[in-house]
A and B are shown apart, each in its own frame.
Chain A
Amino acid sequence: MKKNRTILYSLLLLPALITSLVSGCYRDPQVALELNEEDVKFRVPVGFPAPAYDFSLNPVTVDGFELGRKLFYDPRLSRDNTISCGTCHQQVSAFANTSHQVSHGIDGLFGTRNAPGLWNLAWHSTFMWDGGIQHIELQPLGPIANPVEMDEDINNIITKLKNDALYPGMFKSAFGNDTITTQRITQAITQFQGLMISDNSKYDQYSRGETTLTPAELAGLATFRSKCATCHTEPLFSDNSYHNNGLAPEPTIMDAGRMHITNDPADSLKFKTPSLRNIAVTGPYMHDGRYATLSQCLNHYTSPMYQSATLDPLLSSGIPLTAQEKSDLLAFLATLTDYTFIQDPKFKEQ
């Protein structure tokens, strides 16, 4: 009986195996992915605006990209060698952190904000929920230095990398010699992170005329465009600006948001508009991860807003949404998940 079942399984799997081999898609997971220059070419998707970052000043190469990927997944970028960028930014959730409301950092410490997903970063000129970091190359220095995240000094990282068997050679391949500097570390990570382009969701395919949306998805798109798109502007699904969206501040954190950076009371409780791309897989939601589901997010906008002087005027009474509109919106938001991106092997830890 057992033998028969084994044979049956083998027969079932055989066509799939043959198809894989014939189509050239079969990869031995033990063998590192071979990339060519075309795989790491920065491109601006049709319909996207001009990027904020100028890759001509940091040309992407296979060696630079692979160095950036190794750094991204290397826990030695933290003080006690336990936390990597990839710890809180996981590809399966579009480089957000599934189930963690706020970041879990070094020594079991909690951060105060939800780790955002990473995609289309080359189109941002500010980073983090409060926009405090003003350049994609400088962004990794924030979590590296943060005492509740990675808590490491960049100079210690340079020392660790210099003493590593592989890194000096990788820096030489990427940058021409084996000198390891803050600039080279962050530019290599930028080559990796900046290539995380998400432009192949069902929504994108629909936009390009490659597929159709269901009636519910289309109705959701119409509702989205009339009631959400002012802040969640297509095609990036964010205006990359700062808004107070009526969330009551969490009393133990009292996060002032953008005001933390500007010291301007007019920025109190404002946070950067998150992109809605891949939103179905990046929960929990909001800057502090307070909502586990998208339904809760929609219900927030139909509930009384936390009234304060900086509440966005467009949200003074929330957003009126019927149960049908919410249902349609959820269907539409699911079309924003880019499975090509979240399964792209070149972004996986090697």
Chain B
Amino acid sequence: MAMKLRDALFPLLITSFLAFDSCKPETVDPNPTPVDPTHPTVTVPTGNAVCLSFENVVGNIPLTLDQTLRYQNMNGDSFSVELFKYYISNISFTDDQGNTWYEPESYHLVNAADSNSLKVYVDSMPVANYVSVSYMIGVDSARNVSGTQTGALDPGNGMFWTWTSGYIQAKMEGRSPASTASFDLLVFHIGGFGGQYAGQRVVSPSFNSATAIVTANTLPVIHVKSDLNEWFQSPNTIDFAAMSNVSTAGANSVLIADNYVNMFTITSIQN
């Protein structure tokens, strides 16, 4: 099992992505090659839209996917990151008049290994000055029990448990000398969609008094910093020697989910 996991990780080692400012329309590859052929090709909207640009970091260090022990958690354990994926769903924006707009079919998979996925375009929005955003980390319980889904929710995207059906809301894999698992592996697959061990969390990172001005012909970019180190620090400090493999919904996955609710910070909004 561990060997297979390593084999699965290997292709990720050859590529790493860091995409600050990646949301500007002129930087988008017009013919992107999706990592997964079931992904729809990226269409960049030209208006009535915003771009949520996710910038993955670990503490203050930009995320690089490889086996180098670049990072350190709050407990003092060094670690590497080889895989980092999470669902962003049920996005809504509230404007300066107090009106809230909900994105229909709002399911997006952010995959650190797929630069296209770091830019989440939300389109068909009413023209307005938006002052706040809310979204879910993970997939709501209803969609977990509604049959086989497509697109971002395709069970073939590696974010779905089949021994107990349901989405992995977010996952990271890497290595740490502190890990007690074979190959020093760190495996944090945070799933569970109902009851006390549910892994979804709704977050509303602050706009810090900024405004996303949606018009018919511009594309505001909301830069969201996603700090993986938040998974392991507050309120639950994670000691990798005590916890290096979470792959069921239970008390440990809830500790991580209660932490990753703090992972997002909006750093700037470009109109």
- Residues in chain A within 8 A of chain B (CB atoms): 57-58, 125, 130, 132-139, 141-142, 144-147, 153-155, 158, 181-183, 186-187, 260-263
Which residues from B are CB-within-8-Å of A146?
Answer: 162-163
Q: Which residue of A lies closest to B149 (CB)?
A: A183
Check if B145 is an interface residue, CB within 8 A of chain A: yes
214-271 of chain B: CB within 8 A of chain A: 248-251
Given A137-B148, A141-B155, 13 extra CB contacts under 8 A: A133-B162, A134-B165, A135-B148, A137-B147, A142-B162, A144-B162, A146-B163, A155-B156, A158-B156, A182-B155, A183-B149, A187-B147, A263-B250
Within 8 Å of chain A (Cβ to Cβ): is B2? no
> Would B249 and A147 count as touching, CB distance under 8 A?
no
Complex Cα gap A291–B249 (Å)? 33
Once A138-B148, A183-B149 are accepted as A-B contacts, the answer to whether A263 and B249 lie under 8 Å apart by CB is yes
Pick the residue among B144, B145, B148, B165 that contacts A183 (CB under 8 A). Answer: B148
Contact with A along B158-176 (1 / 0, CB 8 A): 0010111110000000000
Assess the B162–A181 pair: CB atoms within 8 A.
no
Q: B155 to chain A: which residues have CB within 8 Å?
A: 138, 141, 154, 182
Kindly state whether residue B38 has any CB partner on chain A within 8 Å: yes
Q: Tell whether, in the assembled complex, residue B154 and residue A182 are in contact, meaning their CB atoms are under 8 Å apart.
A: yes
Chain B residues with CB under 8 A of A134:
144-145, 165-166
A181 and B166 contacting across the interface, CB-CB below 8 Å: no
Q: Across the interface, do A135 and B146 meet the contact criterion of CB distance under 8 Å? A: yes
A-B contact pairs, 15 of them (CB 8 A): A125-B145, A132-B163, A135-B146, A137-B148, A138-B155, A138-B162, A141-B155, A142-B165, A147-B1, A154-B156, A155-B156, A183-B148, A183-B154, A186-B147, A261-B164
Question: In the assembly, what is the distance between CA of A141 and CA of B144, in Å?
Answer: 14
- Bound complex: CA A74 to CA B248 (Å): 31
Inter-chain CA distance A31–B156, complex, in Å, is 36
Chain B nearest Cβ from A79, distance in angstroms: 11
Asked if B248 and A263 make an inter-chain contact with CB atoms under 8 angstroms apart, the answer reads: yes
The reply to whether B148 and A133 contact each other, CB–CB distance below 8 Å, is no
Q: Is B197 an interface residue (CB 8 A)?
A: yes
Other-chain residue from B38, B165, B195, B251 in contact with A181 (beta carbon distance below 8 A): B38
Contact of A138 among B36, B147, B150, B251 (CB under 8 A): B147
Closest to A54 in B: B147
Rounded to whole Å, the gap between the CB of A44 and the closest CB of chain B is 19
CA distance A263 to B148 in the complex (A): 25
Could you tell me the distance in whole angstroms from the C-beta of B64 to the nearest C-beta in chain A?
Answer: 26
Q: CA of A144 to CA of B148 in the docked complex: distance in angstroms?
A: 14
Contact partners of B147 in chain A: CB under 8 A: 57-58, 135-138, 183, 186-187
Known: A134-B144, A154-B156, A182-B38. A141 touches B162 (CB 8 A): yes
Question: Quick one: closest B residue to A144, CB to CB?
Answer: B162
For residue B255, give the distance in angstroms from its CB to the closest CB of chain A: 13
B150 contacts A141, CB within 8 Å? no
Residue of A nearest to B253 (CB): A263
The reply to whether A132 and B164 form a contact with Cβ atoms under 8 Å apart is: yes
Complex alpha-carbon distance, A11 and B163, angstroms? 57
Knowing A57-B147, A263-B248, the reply to whether A133 touches B164 (Cβ < 8 A) is: yes
Which residues of chain A are within 8 angstroms of B251 by Cβ–Cβ distance? 263
Chain B contacts of A187 at CB under 8 A? 147-148
Give bound CA distance, A49 to B164, whole Å. Answer: 26
**Min CB–CB distance A270 → chain B (angstroms):** 15
For the complex, give the distance between the alpha carbons of A229 and B150 in Å: 40
- A125 and B165 CA atoms in complex are apart in Å by 12
- A-side contacts of B148, CB under 8 Å: 135, 137-138, 141, 182-183, 186-187
Closest to A130 in B: B164
- Chain A residues whose CB sits within 8 angstroms of the CB of B144 once the complex forms: 134
List the 10 closest pairs (A to B, CB-CB), nearest first. Answer: A132-B164, A137-B147, A145-B162, A263-B250, A141-B162, A183-B148, A186-B148, A138-B165, A137-B148, A133-B165
**Of B38, B148, B160, B248, which is in contact with the most chain A CB atoms at under 10 Å from its CB?**
B148
The minimal Cβ–Cβ distance linking B71 to chain A, given in whole angstroms, is: 29
Chain A, residue nearest B38 (CB): A181
The answer to whether B163 and A142 touch across the interface, beta carbons within 8 angstroms, is yes
151-205 of chain B: CB within 8 A of chain A: 154-156, 160, 162-166, 195, 197
Question: In chain B, what residue has the closest Cβ to A141?
Answer: B162
Residues A141 and B249 in contact, CB atoms below 8 Å apart: no
B164 neighbours in A (Cβ, 8 Å): 130, 132-133, 260-261
Residues of A within 8 A of B38 (CB): 155, 158, 181-182
- Nearest chain A residue, comparing its CB with the CB of B147: A137
**Residues in B neighbouring A261, C-beta threshold 8 A:** 164
Task: Type the 1/0 row for B25-55, where 1 means its CB is closer than 8 Å to any CB of A.
Answer: 0000000000010100000000000000000
Q: For B163, list chain A residues within 8 Å (CB).
A: 132, 142, 145-146
Shortest distance between the CB of B49 and any CB in chain A (Å)? 27
A138-B146 Cα distance, complex, nearest whole Å: 9
Within the complex, the shortest CB–CB distance from A155 to chain B, in Å, comes to: 5
> Could you tell me the distance between the alpha carbons of A145 and B149 in the complex, rounded to whole angstroms?
17
Q: What's the minimum C-beta distance from A340 to chain B, rounded to whole angstroms?
A: 29
B197 and A263 contact, CB distance less than 8 A: yes
A134→B250 CA distance, assembly (Å): 18
- Of all chain B residues, the one with the shortest Cβ separation from A262 is B195
**Residues of the B chain whose Cβ atoms lie less than 8 Å from the Cβ of A144:** 162
